[in-house]
Amino acid sequence: MDVRDTASQGLRPETRSPKLVVVAIALGSNLGDRDALLAYVVSRLKQSLQAVRVSHVIETDPVAVGPQPKFLNAGIVGLFGGTPRELLDLLLDIEHERGRERPFPGAARTLDVDLVLFGDRVVTEPGLQVPHPRFRERSFVLKPLAEIAPDLVDPVTGRTVAQLLRRLGRDGRDEKDGSPHS
């Protein structure tokens, strides 16, 4: 459709925009100035997301990764107008901008920025899995997200973030269940 076609339908090309999708992102840091690093992520994401909500920051012990400094964790929910791959690429760029290195799985990190939910999409591609495969067992992900978006639904289980958090507590599991903190 060319510009004349959209104009004849009462649409102006500059008002067309991609569909916005609710996304949930988990943040973590256990190296460097953790507070400043998380603040950087938030400021960068506010440039690409709309209607951003940010949780309080919590401090958590590292899990199943050997002796490391404690983590600061938070969650962000907002609206995104691109694809899951575009958002993942943005998150990886942000990590890289602040010195994230990956010398081995579970290594301490300046930033860990994970795509947890992308609307009701279920995506399995090389290097991209949405919903995040381990978020349901991690209170350090669920607690911040439940604070700002308790009604977000996991498209795999059909449960809300609040229900997943309650279930996690009821089952007696939390981030100390041996799941790696990544």
Could you say which of 114, 138, 154, 174 is catalytic?
A: 114
Respond yes or no: is residue 85 known to be catalytic. no
Give the integer Cα–Cα distance in Å for 24 and 160: 12
∠ at Cα 104 (66, 34), nearest 5°?
A: 65
Respond yes or no: is residue 170 known to be catalytic. no
Could you say which of 112, 136, 138, 154 is catalytic?
A: 112
Respond yes or no: is residue 2 known to be catalytic. no
∠ at Cα 28 (99, 51), nearest 5°?
A: 105
Could you say which of 100, 136, 138, 154 is catalytic?
A: 100
Respond yes or no: is residue 109 known to be catalytic. yes
Residue pair 172/165 in contact by the 8 Å Cβ criterion: no
Q: Burial of 89 by CB count in 10 Å (0-12 exposed, 13-18 middle, 19+ buried)?
A: middle
Q: Is the dihedral of CA 159, 80, 113, 46 positive or negative?
A: negative
Instruction: Enumerate the active-site residues.
Output: 100, 109, 112, 114
